[in-house]
Amino acid sequence: MSEQDERKLRLLWLEQPAAAAPIKIDSLRRQANGLAWKVKLRNAVDYIAAALGVIGIAIVVWTKRQGTLGAVDWGTAIAAILGSLYFLYYLRKHGRALALRVDGDIRVGLQSVISEYRRQRDLHLAAFNWYIAPFLPAFAIFFATHVDAWSRKEALQYVVWIAAAVYTPLWWHKRVAERLQRSIDVLEAAHKSIVE
């Protein structure tokens, strides 16, 4: 074999894609426990956010009417509370951390962890439906009944506040879904290397 052939062979060997590193059961268990902890933390933050959202709307409704609540104000408050209850129900039903058993067969453990990552990713991708939409009726009632009394400056402040209140969580949920997808890709590569 000539020196040029050896170089070609070496370059061919170096250009081959690196095989996915095998994953160990302990590493997978730590990853599953880390995901569960992050989900529990996210849920706690979201529970607090729901409570603060209701309190915020209640304060705005109360201050705009100087303490005398009319039927529309009660409607706004009730719509906000119902939105929060739906939000909490949906998060509890679809977003709670599942106890993953990662013992024994690494393939079964990987499938279980990948499935949980996908479930959480899908929850974040559907954030508008459960994180924003339940509160839209309260916002609509509030705006429809108060817009005539506002100056342009007040109306602009409320529009900016609502835009930030809608965009910021959606942006955050999208970023979290992207991070979850990257983890899914790594785990699927590890699963594929074990199966082959």
DSSP state letters, the chain: --HHHHHHHHHHHHHSPPPPPPPPHHHHHHHHHHHHHHHHHHHHHHHHHHHHHHHHHHHHHHHHTTT---HHHHHHHHHHHHHHHHHHHHHHHHHSPP-----S-HHHHHHHHHHHHHHHHHHHHTHIIIIIGGGHHHHHHHHHHHGGGS-HHHHHHHHHHHHHHHHHHHHHHHHHHHHHHHHHHHHHHHHHHHH-
Contacts with 138 (C-beta within 8 Å, 6 or more apart), sequence order: 57, 76, 77, 79, 80, 83
- Which residues of the chain have a pLDDT value below 50? 20
Q: Are 110 and 191 in contact (CB under 8 A)?
A: yes
Residue type present at position 126: A
User: What pLDDT score does 182 carry?
Assistant: 94
User: What pLDDT score does 17 carry?
Assistant: 58
User: What pLDDT score does 104 carry?
Assistant: 74
User: What pLDDT score does 93 carry?
Assistant: 92
Tokens of residue 9, six digits: 């062979």
User: What pLDDT score does 66 carry?
Assistant: 58
Q: Are 69 and 62 in contact (CB under 8 A)?
A: yes
Distance CA 193, CA 158 (A): 53
Based on its alpha-carbon atoms, the radius of gyration of the chain, rounded to whole angstroms, reads: 25
Q: Tell me: the pLDDT tens digits for 64-120?
A: 665 566 777 778 888 888 998 899 899 999 998 887 777 777 888 888 899 999 999
User: What pLDDT score does 12 carry?
Assistant: 64
